[in-house]
């Protein structure tokens, strides 16, 4: 008996082997053939519990992290950056390189 035979089973639970996509496509095709509106997928209910706003949680996390970085809770001040001087343009020509003559042996 090989290792794959040991792992094989004929008893696959139906909920695991259900192809929901193919079933949904089949239902859609049947509805279209009968001229009915497309059936909508049943939406799964969200688990019960506290709903946390993602943006609120992110803002709270940022506010808690600011003191550890040495930042105050006030808004940052904006300073104008100093103007940079333009770099001197070059012609793009390279100086000729000296070649050393090959020595014959």
50-100 pLDDT tens trace: 666 888 888 888 888 887 777 665 666 777 888 887 766 666 667 667 777
Rounded alpha-carbon distances, angstroms, from residue 19 to 9, 23, 28, 32: 19, 6, 15, 20
pTM for the whole thing? 0.29
pLDDT score recorded for residue 48: 63
Mean pLDDT, to the nearest integer, of 24-40?
89
- 1 falls in which pLDDT band (50, 70, 90)? low
Query: Where does the chain have alpha helices with state H?
Result: 3-7, 20-33, 54-65
Cβ atoms 27, 39 nearer than 8 A: yes
């Amino acid at each position: 008996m090989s290792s794959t035979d040991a792992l094989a089973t004929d008893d696959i639970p139906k909920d695991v082997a259900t192809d929901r996509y193919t079933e949904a496509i089949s239902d859609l095709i049947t509805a279209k053939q009968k001229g009915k509106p497309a059936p909508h997928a049943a939406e799964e209910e969200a688990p019960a519990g506290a709903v946390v706003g993602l943006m609120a949680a992110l803002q709270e996390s940022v506010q808690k992290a600011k003191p550890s970085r040495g930042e105050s809770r006030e808004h940052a001040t904006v300073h104008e950056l100093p103007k940079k001087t333009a770099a001197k343009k070059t012609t793009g020509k390279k100086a000729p390189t000296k070649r050393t003559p090959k020595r014959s042996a």
